[in-house]
Structure 1
Amino acid sequence: MDVAFQMRGAGQVVIVDAAATGAAPGTVFQVPGAELAELPPLQGLHTHSFRWDHAIAFARWALGDDCPTDITVFLIEAQCVDFGADLSEPVQAGMDAVIERIEADYFAPLRPPGADDVSVEFSADGDLRLDSALAASRFPSDAVAAVLRGDDLWLIPLRGPRSGGLLLKQRNPKGDRSVLVREVLQGRSVAGPRSASWDDQQKALCIALGVPPESRR
């Protein structure tokens, strides 16, 4: 039921749920819009049997005109529904496919375009500072991995905090971010601005630690 109330006033809603149709575990289904128009009745419904279609039906009843009309549902065939069971490999693969689809179709268009060549700044304390546009376009989850390769520092976006790595912290209301990379730098003194470029093949930001931009003029 909480899902129904969280839908209030949203422009778009994407629901991801498990399915038990007998298909191979990890199979992904996208529910056709016609099925969303024919939802089950709410009479006699118990909270323990509340499914995605009940959530939509309840939202339409409870929210009225505030219920979104643009709703997409992805269902992933489950392999095991035992309490506390981990995701199986095929179901995890299905989840990954849905995440990539949602990222490409729903999140990516909302983000500002990221420039290929940018500038970042290191503080004397070992903080790496990114402006808000760079952080939003390239590191939307605020979770990153930092890897030193020769004279370059690579900043790799992760899916979220559960993936481990480092967290970008918001520095100001504008949305600029910073992350402590002092240990990754292994004692290098790199305070000041540095040139960086986005590598599409590596899907990572490459920061040149060698010569500062102003020294090249």
Structure 2
Amino acid sequence: MKCQITESGYLHIPAEIAQQYFTTGAVIALLKGKELLIMPVNYVGAGGLILKYRNAKGDRSVLLSELLPEDVDYGMRDVQWDEEALALRIPLYIT
């Protein structure tokens, strides 16, 4: 699975990932060490960050610029779903 962090501070999530893990359209984002954790919110009324539609295919975006460290690596990266944390794990730095 791959996602992209853009230079403008957006996380782009492909439709396949969004439809499987983020069906409500809202997420919580946390920094944990050198990773970003993206967790689904049970319903939009609970708060969180809104996932916006990018295209008709269903790709989604969420603005994270205020949360990202200044030295984050932008671009595509491999991501993993963490069943224990119920979160998408996204490395902030490309190695």
Shorter-normalised TM range = over 0.9
Distance 2:71 2:62 in 1: 16
Match of 2:55 in 1: 172
Distance 2:71 2:23 in 1: 28
Matches within 5 A, 1:43-54: none
**3-state DSSP class of the match of 1:206?**
strand
Deviation of residue 191 (structure 1)? 1.4
Match of 1:202 in 2: 85
- In the TM superposition, structure 1's runs of 4+ consecutive aligned residues that sit over 2 Å from their partners are 186-190
Q: Which amino acid aligns with 1:185?
A: L
> Deviation per CA, 1:118-175, whole angstroms, max 9, x where unpaired?
1100111000000101000000001100000110000000012211110100000111
Runs (5+) with no aligned partner, structure 2: none
Distance 1:163 1:171 in 2: 23
Deviation of residue 190 (structure 1)? 2.4
Deviation of residue 198 (structure 1)? 0.4
Match of 2:19 in 1: 136
Task: Determine which of 37, 51, 57 is the counterpart of 1:154.
Answer: 37
Deviation of residue 186 (structure 1)? 3.2
> Deviation per CA, 1:55-114, whole angstroms, max 9, x where unpaired?
xxxxxxxxxxxxxxxxxxxxxxxxxxxxxxxxxxxxxxxxxxxxxxxxxxxxxxxxxxxx
TM-score by length of 2: 0.94
Q: Which has the larger radius of gyration?
A: 1
**3-state DSSP class of the match of 2:85?**
coil
Matches within 5 A, 1:20-169: 118-169=1-52
Deviation of residue 210 (structure 1)? 2.0
User: Size of the alignment, in residue pairs?
Assistant: 95
Q: 1:211 to 1:186 in 2, by over 3 A?
A: closer
Instruction: Return the structure number with greater strand share.
Output: 2
Q: Which amino acid aligns with 2:82?
A: D
Runs (5+) with no aligned partner, structure 1: 1-117, 213-217
What is the Cα-based RMSD across aligned positions, in Å? 1.1
Match of 1:192 in 2: 75
